[in-house]
Structure 1
Amino acid sequence: MTGLGVGLTHVPGAEPLLDACADLLEVVEIEPQALWRARPDGTTGCDEEALRRLADLPGARLLHGVGNPVGGCRPPDPRQTALVGELAERLGAPWVSEHLAFNRTTGRTAGPTGRTGRGGRSEDGFRTGFMLPPRQTLEGVRRSVASVRAMADALPVPLAVEIGTNYLRPRADELPDGRFVASVAEGAGCGLLLDLHNVLANERNGRASVGRLLDELPLDRVWEVHLAGGFEHRGYWLDAHSGLPDKELLALAERVLPRLPALRAVLFEVTGSALPGLDPQAVRDLLVRVREQWRPQPSPAGLALAAPVPWPSPALEPGDGPGPEEWEHALGALTIGREADGTLARELAADPAIALLRELVTEFRASALAGTLVHTVRLLLLTLGEAGVRALLDDYTRSHPPELFATEEAMAFAAHLRRTRPRVPWLADVLELDLGLVHVRLDDAPRTVRLGTDPNDLLAALGAGRLPVAPAQGSFLVRLTV
């Protein structure tokens, strides 16, 4: 194939930006999880209307997973992999990508020190609510290779893995960042997605320099590059996708892109929350600049897929440090605010990045709730204030691990509110309204809810940012529609 070119990643709400840049788009990358709807019966459906709108945009299509990473001990979810494969065939995507990270832990038996062992207590696996760095050891390579192969073998198109952001301090018992990624890519026989903002953020936060990382990577496996913006917070440079790339990143791209012989696509990433403050003309200027710096070179039909390279000594000897499962449990537990025992947990807890990760997970979960239970969250804020809502969220997040989909998080939080019964007037009715609207979107069908308060009084007041004043009471049947 001759290559794809330059384009944008799609997030909900990005349609005006995509329209403004339509004449420059050569490729649009879609996050499939943003199009999925998790139904209460456990099935997952696709937002067909959004998919039709995306199909009408110019250029080629790529798929970039954001919820089914391939860097952990727990294999990627085969149901999600199957859905990605179906979308790839429907959209004609030449490859798909996923993150070299983990966001779920496996079940295990833990001894009294927190290390895996016989005779200990049983611990269930859980979601972390955030993509976390895998264990960068020989055994970590082996487990990541197995995870990558599990997804790659189930897909109808090739797979590339993204080099993620790592806020943790480097450890003496781990492989260098570039060597770890190279070993996984070569061992699995997959491609690479080089997110230049990720690796620059890693350098700024004290990990490997971009130059050393590139020297260690098999650059002929890089099919795709991401560009993004971030900002400084609590002494860290966050991979926030919060705006345009800065001057240092643009200069880095100008140096690096010509070094990538297999490069086929360069995408600009931005989050939905940053879209309102983004100047479409500035994005157009970015796309033009990248197109002037780099054009895809002709290549044989299909992607160059080198055979997997056997990795020597795939297992660690006893005493070589914590294994990947212990790493994932300790890091995952600390990230979501759970207690974790053992030497490794104490070492990780001393890393200031743990407090940052906890904050990011909490903010991410709060954002998911604010976007789904809109009126409920507004009522809680107006009644309890920010400090009260923060305490309520802290209690919820400590007792319930993160969910993958925002709708699942909403259902879980609603169950928590019904169980704890905070003293908030009209909460039951407002919650019923919000949940009804969630079900309407999930089922794409009308739904009727019964309330004890006039919904017009409730919605008018909350929509204006104030509490209702003596809303009418009674029995109200409300039909909610799409």
Structure 2
Amino acid sequence: MTFEPPRLGPGAIYLRSLDGLFRSHADLIKVAEIEPQSLWTKGTAPGSLPRGSPGELRHLQALPQTILTHGVGCPIGGTICDQARQVPQFRAWTEVLNAPWTSEHLSIFHVRGPSGEQPCGFLMPPLQTEAGVSLAARNITRRAAALGKPFAFETGVNYFAPRSCEMPDGEFFRAVAEAADCGILLDLTNLWANHKNGRAEIHDVLVRLPFERVWEVHLAGLEFAHGHWLDAHSNGIDDESVDIASDVVADLPNLGAIIFEIAPDRIDRFGERNLLLEMEKVHLLWDRARGAARCTSNTKVSARQALAEPATLSPEDWERMLANRMLQSGGPLPVSTEQLELRRSDERAFSLYLQLVASFRRGAVAELMENTTRLLLLGMGESELRWLMDRYVAATPPVAFPTDEALSFRRFLEENPLAIPGLEDLSKFESTLIAAAADGGSMQVELSKDIDAMLDEIAMGRLPGPSTDRPGTVLEIAVDPVPVVRMIH
């Protein structure tokens, strides 16, 4: 490994809602880690590629922080690993933003299902075998070449219990990093969640890692839900994580950045003041990290542990099993039961992953079709709305982009009409707004309700009445970058 990352300092994941905070507190937030896919839009036509706004990219260039890019849409742990569709634009953003290195998750997102390649709705862990190491290393080597930047993979959360044919977590991470000759983004919160859920003792994982390859550390807050500690990026860093991080960062000779993460849907409740308080914690950790001596040579590699049983299960078998359980549609794909016996702990883990997928999907609909969701709540009540969303999730496959999720829900409502006043018009209006934003053009929609009057009624907690009726009206909608609506006739 020849890359020596620059010492950038403490930083945070960039969110649009925090843009002003980043620009006004450059003394406290030294690094802005940008997740390009979270800022891109995707057209509605089949095969459309996600794309970013040139104007937003110029806006990000003006940030006072040093910028890192972190992928959230093309993980490098699976047999399906996009190296061509999203990567060119990701490279362009990384180059324009002058990121000294870039990173992505050591996970699986797309699997081969009954309908071909499909997203499974959540970042899933790879199979930790020698074959899994070789697969990830090949993917990383290709990705780093395609991006033209030094590359680090993120250590992931894993809600499955270890299998006897798998390598221990720390050994797997080491083997991948050494086979690919790349860096490591050490997500201590992920490892702490694995520890608290009983998967792997965190110090056993850390002692196996090649510390000289750790270029970056992530920290966030855990949340207990569905019987597990979740990497939810929901609040501040807990004291135990801070203590562990304080010990670890002092021994990382090539650490370039420590990044605090907070989820976009949690920032309103968490608050900007609390984020700045977390950044003070990260600064103290960075002061500990600055004492580590620079090092570019590998640490002494400990002997590999013998596995309890041979790895007869292949990455392809593992992904077929993920497809069978996560997609829940179409006929099951063949997986040898001799090679893979589902344990009770596996069933619990799949139940959790499916709940997390459902939660993300419901959240995407509620965020992008906010007023439609409010109207459904008024017309059905909370328990019936929950039942409706469960039906929707069970009947439709997950998708990769939130805009696709919202438009999929609109089609579901069309196929399953409900007798709620104004629902047809409001869902049609909001879905047209989404499609216009995704396609970057103008669209027309014909309505029989006064949208403004309906929104006033909903805001007052009332179902739209006859006063919101209006003879057939055609609206033209464009989003550039804010919605522009004009009546045609």
1:58 corresponding residue in structure 2: 64
Q: How many residues align?
A: 460
**Correspondence for 1:329:** 320
Q: Distance in 2 between matches of 1:197 and 1:43?
A: 32
Q: CA deviation at 1:103?
A: 0.8
Query: 2:476 — aligned with what?
Result: 479
Corresponding position of 1:204? 196
| Alpha-carbon displacement from aligned partner over 1:306-333 (angstroms, at most 9, x marks no partner) | 8xx9xx9xxx9x9743221221221243
Q: 1:367 is matched by which residue type in structure 2? A: G
Query: 1:63 aligns to what SS in structure 2?
Result: strand
Residue type at the aligned position of 2:474: L
Q: Deviations over 1:339-380 (max 9, x none)?
A: 757533743775312211111100001111111122222222
Q: What does residue 384 of structure 1 align with? A: 380
- 1:323 aligned partner, one-letter code: S
Q: Distance in 1 between matches of 2:379 and 2:271?
A: 36
Deviation at 1:297, TM superposition (A): 5.5
CA distance in 1, matches of 2:117, 2:83: 14
The counterpart of 1:33, out of the listed 31, 37, 45, is: 37
Deviates more, 1:279-288 or 1:62-71: 279-288
* Cα distance in structure 1, aligned partners of 2:208 and 2:461: 54
Q: Deviations over 1:20-56 (max 9, x none)?
A: 5332121100011111100123133213444343322
| 2:260 and 2:282 in contact (8 A); partners too | no
Deviation at 1:336, TM superposition (A): 4.2
User: Are the equivalent residues in 2 in contact too, given 1:201–1:239 (CA < 8 A)?
Assistant: yes
Q: Determine if contact 1:336/1:398 at 8 Å carries over to the other structure.
A: no
Aligned pairs (5 A) from 1:199-348: 199-295=191-287, 320-338=311-329, 340=332, 343=337, 344=340, 346-347=342-343
Greater CA drift, 153-162 or 454-463: 454-463
Deviation at 1:420, TM superposition (A): 2.8
1:97–1:466 distance in 2 versus 1, CA, 3 Å: farther
Alpha carbons 1:35, 1:51 under 8 Å: kept? no
Match of 1:12 among 13, 16, 35: 16
Identify the residue that residue 112 of structure 1 maps to in structure 2: none
Cα deviation, residue 200, structure 1: 0.6
Deviations 1:263-302 (A, max 9, x none): 000110001121122243443333333333435769999x
CA shift for structure 1 position 443: 4.1
Q: Give yes or no for contact 1:3–1:298 (8 Å, CA) kept in 2.
A: no
3-state SS in 2 of match to 1:186: helix
Whole-Å separation in 2 of the counterparts to 1:437 and 1:229: 34
Does the C-alpha gap of structure 1 residues 97 and 86 become closer, same or farther in structure 2, counting only changes over 3 Å? same
Determine the C-alpha separation between the residues in 1 that align with 2:205 and 2:292. Answer: 26
Deviations 1:233-262 (A, max 9, x none): 133111000011010011111100011111
Question: Are the equivalent residues in 1 in contact too, given 2:253–2:293 (CA < 8 A)?
Answer: no
Deviations 1:363-420 (A, max 9, x none): 0011111111222222222222333333332333223221111111122222222223
Output aligned runs, 1:129-148, within 5 Å: 129-148=121-140
| Structure 1 residues not aligned, in runs of 5+ | 108-121
How far is 1:458 from its partner? 1.9
Confirm or deny: 8 A CA contact 1:106 1:325 kept in the other structure: no
Equivalent positions of 1:97-112 (< 5 A) are 97-106=103-112
Aligned residue in 2 for 1:117: none
Question: CA 1:209–1:422 in 2, change beyond 3 Å: closer, same or farther?
Answer: same
User: Which runs of no fewer than 5 residues in structure 2 stay unpaired?
Assistant: 484-489
Give 3-state SS (helix, strand or coil) of 1:61's partner.
Answer: strand
For 1:349 and 1:451, how far apart are their aligned partners in 2?
A: 51
* Per-residue CA distance 1:63-83 (angstroms, 9 max, x = gap): 111111111111235221111
Identity level (%): 35
The aligned amino acid for 2:59 is: R
1:165 to 153, 157, 166: 157
Q: What is the TM-score when the length of structure 1 is the normalising length?
A: 0.88
What TM-score, normalized by structure 2, do the two folds share? 0.86
CA distance, structure 2, for counterparts of residue 264 and residue 392 of structure 1? 47
- Assess, with a 3 A threshold, how the Cα gap between structure 1 residues 320 and 225 changes in structure 2: closer, same or farther: closer
In the aligned structure 2, how far is the partner of 1:215 from the partner of 1:156? 31
- Asked if structure 1 preserves the Cα contact closer than 8 Å seen for 2:233 and 2:263, the reply is yes
User: What letter corresponds to residue 369 of structure 1 in structure 2?
Assistant: V
Structure 1 CA distance for aligned equivalents of residues 112 and 297 of structure 2: 31
